[in-house]
Amino acid sequence: MRATIVMAQYGQPQLTIACVQSLRRQHGDERPMIPVDDGSSPADLEQVARACLSNVELVCSPHRGVTAAWNAGAARASGDRLLFLNNDVITAGPWIDRMLQPVSDRRIVIAGVARRRERHVPAAVLERLSTSTFASGWCFAVRRRDFESVGGFRESLRLYFSDTDLQARLLLRHGCGREGIAISEGLPVKHLGHATTSGCPTRRAQWQADRQRFLELWGDTTA
């Protein structure tokens, strides 16, 4: 089972460095990693480049949003599994193999480490989705061919709701709902809780814009 870890980096290099280094301490360098820098300053980019270890390919991209960065990383990946990981995640022990194992089963479309309920869309829109609960977007994995079959992330959702949208489209394509998502709980991996976006002054406006776009994509033009 070959997996490539894809993450987005913008403006907070210390988070990416800590994420990569903690992963390498627990998993060595056998897992290829592709951090995609989404147009950070030259100084921030240099910090990440200096800290990158073996088997880490740093990709530099214009500032187009986290979702576009994920797609850029996925396009460079060589593994048959794609593991999307936020850069504000710390690894305290081995966890990747256990998390990835469920997607060896064709009945499982998405693997994750935590489950979340989508609470920010109207009931009428939720009815168009195959489930109201999803793998938490800060760490989840899919088969690469499935990801490519739906065209990857929709980049019109620049930061928020893009993981919900992707998972919903994958489940619909496979004709399944909640049962197509496998969650491995209790793994030694910790999300620092929106540390990546905490310094973004426009995140509220971006959340609102992305939510509106998500509702339009799923057939609600009145919200």
CATH number for the domain spanning 170: value is: 3.90.550.10
Q: What is the pLDDT of residues 80-106, one digit of tens each?
A: 999 999 999 999 999 999 999 999 999
Q: Is residue 201 part of a domain?
A: yes
In this predicted model, what pLDDT tens digit does every residue of 137-159 receive, in sequence order? 999 999 999 999 999 999 999 99
Name all contacts of 167-174 with Cβ < 8 Å and 24+ positions apart.
167/110, 167/134, 167/135, 167/140, 168/129, 168/130, 168/131, 168/134, 168/218, 170/109, 170/110, 170/142, 170/146, 171/109, 171/110, 171/129, 171/130, 171/131, 172/129, 172/130, 173/146, 173/149, 174/109, 174/146
Going by pLDDT thresholds of 50, 70 and 90, the confidence category of residue 223 is very low
Domain that holds residue 55: 3-217
As a whole number of angstroms, the distance between CA 113 and CA 140 comes to 7
Residues 6+ apart with CB under 8 A from 46: none
Q: Please indicate, yes or no, if residue 223 is contained in any of the structural domains.
A: no
What is the rounded average pLDDT of the residues 51-74?
92
Least confident of 143-157, 160-174, 185-199: 185-199
* Residues 160-173, mean pLDDT to the nearest whole number: 97
- Number of domains observed in the structure of the chain: 1
What's the pTM?
A: 0.94
pLDDT(204) > 50: yes
